[in-house]
Amino acid sequence: QEKQQELLNRNKRLRLRISDLESELKLAKRMGTKGQPRKAVDSLLSHDKIVLYGKKYAIVVEPFIDSNIFMKPAPQDATRASRSDARFSNFSEYKAGLINELYTYLSNEAEMKEQASGYAPFRDAVSANSETSTALHTIRSCAPVIFSDLNLPGELWPLNAATQRKESILVQSLLLFPEQEAPGIFLPIFYPGLVKDNNFLFMNEYLPKVR
């Protein structure tokens, strides 16, 4: 009798759990992948082209898409300006030349060029579909495996765990040398054993895993 009652109670709990899961599933279908309501499809955007051009941009133009190069008018002669010697005279000119590079890149796509100059959803869609964004997402999701030897807690890796990472002594030791207050160009994690020695820069066990 006692065993039977135990099974009945367990069955009741399972049915309640199934009901909860069904409710969560219905909610998930009405929400986006990150818990936000799904956005309506923008009929003005060509999704397939944006995915293609977004991913290729990091390879043929610049590794990181700067959202500031959008929402600006196209130069009169983007092709000439983007290849001029003056473009590479200093870093500021180089960054400014990215606007020219963008319109050169889109030179065969009149509609996309027009959207790049004044349609914010196009900017957001290209940035979201860049190869760099995909690569960073993949690396972040694989971070616990890549850095498994460091025995860092799993809760440090999510994007919203910035505060926990900042307060982690171990994480900070990977980013800052003892005498530093802010990260430099070359971080301790780039060196074997976290010891700065330019003869062994990048010669550690983590980079091959990222590659």
The answer for residues whose C-beta is within 8 angstroms of residue 56's C-beta and 6 or more apart is 131
* Mean pLDDT of the region 60-72: 82
159-187 mean pLDDT:
82
Distances from the Cα of 30 to the Cαs of 24, 40, 98, 180, 194, in angstroms? 10, 12, 39, 48, 47
Name the percent of the chain lying above pLDDT 90. 1
| Prediction pTM value | 0.46
pLDDT digits (tens, 9 = 90+) for 86-101: 777 887 777 778 888 8
Query: What average pLDDT does range 142-164 have in this prediction?
Result: 77
**Which amino acid, one-letter code, is at 187?**
L
Residue 65 CB neighbours (<10 A)? 23
Model confidence at 11, pLDDT cuts 50, 70, 90, reads confident
Provide mean pLDDT across the span 99-107.
87
